[in-house]
Amino acid sequence: MMLVASLAFGFMNVSVKSISGMHVSEIVFFRAIVQILIAAAFLAYQRQSPWGNNPKMLVMRGFFGSMGLLCYFYSLQVMPLSNALVIHYLSPILTTLFALWMGDEQVQNKQWVFFALSFTGVVIVNGVSSVVTLEGIAAGLGGAVFSALAYNTIRRLKGKENPNVVVLYFPLVTLPISLLMPVVGFGQWIMPVGNQWVWLLLTGIFTQIGQFFMTRAYQESETKVVSAISYAGIIWGTGFGLFLFHEDYSIWQYLGMALVITGMVLNVRLNRGLGFRR
């Protein structure tokens, strides 16, 4: 399920990066409307109440996810796709660390080595790029932190909420936050024209697919397993960057991506007990 989610998010990234000239809060606003319509339709079909049983935690999930999304979409606009993705994929490491801090899970000793391997890859990919700015890196790191908090909130809702309810609260909270940003002076909105409407619709659809399968994945398995598998998104992002946006990567960046993915694979093998012991 996490592999399907990562691929859906990959197509979402392409849609966001294909929308030029629009502020991130506007993209997030239209995306939220599409998500609300789809999630509400599924809940109506299931005859499920949309409000859930844990509104406080659901709102927290929505807030963390909204802030992470705004930061991440901004990094997509100001950085090459692969660089934004690699920074964003610090979130699985942070997700596990937050879960450890909250006492929800334990981390095996070898995992720290694998985390360090992936983190080194992140540093290499962005350290050798001449088009990465401190502003973009800060936005990417903010997105990773908020996303990690959102993922741990999803994990805590396991067995307590319908996945579609969890998904619905995300855009419900996002909507007022995105509307507030231009009011307080963060960006100017413009009316979408031409194929921008298509990209906005696709952004919402692919996000909904990704959110549903990601929520199911985090509710069905341990955070450290699911978060490690999510690194597959780097593979999709690199391919899209090469073939759709004609981005160029150096040999060092490929090496960094390889280190990130290697750390992911080793984490998965360790957690599934396929040849590693504590």
111-151 confidence digits (pLDDT tens): 888 888 888 887 787 666 556 678 888 999 999 999 999 98
| 102 DSSP 8-state letter | T
Whether 274 shows a pLDDT value over 60: the answer reads no
Tokens of 209: 């697919």
Instruction: Using a pLDDT cut of 90, give the percent of the chain over it.
Output: 24
Residue 227: predicted pLDDT: 67
Q: In this structure, are residues 171 and 39 in contact, taking their beta carbons and an 8 Å threshold? A: yes
Per-residue pLDDT band at 176 (split at 50, 70, 90):
very high
Distance CA 23, CA 35 (A): 19
Average pLDDT over residues 201-212: 89
Residue 128: predicted pLDDT: 60
Query: Element (H or E) spanning 20, and its range?
Result: none
Residue 161: predicted pLDDT: 86
Residue 127: predicted pLDDT: 66
- For tokens 């000793």, the residue is 109
| pLDDT tens-place string over residues 10-34 | 999 899 888 877 888 999 999 899 8
Residue 21: predicted pLDDT: 79
Count of residues in the chain: 278
| pLDDT tens-place string over residues 37-78 | 988 898 898 888 888 889 999 999 999 999 999 999 888 888
Per-residue pLDDT band at 108 (split at 50, 70, 90):
confident
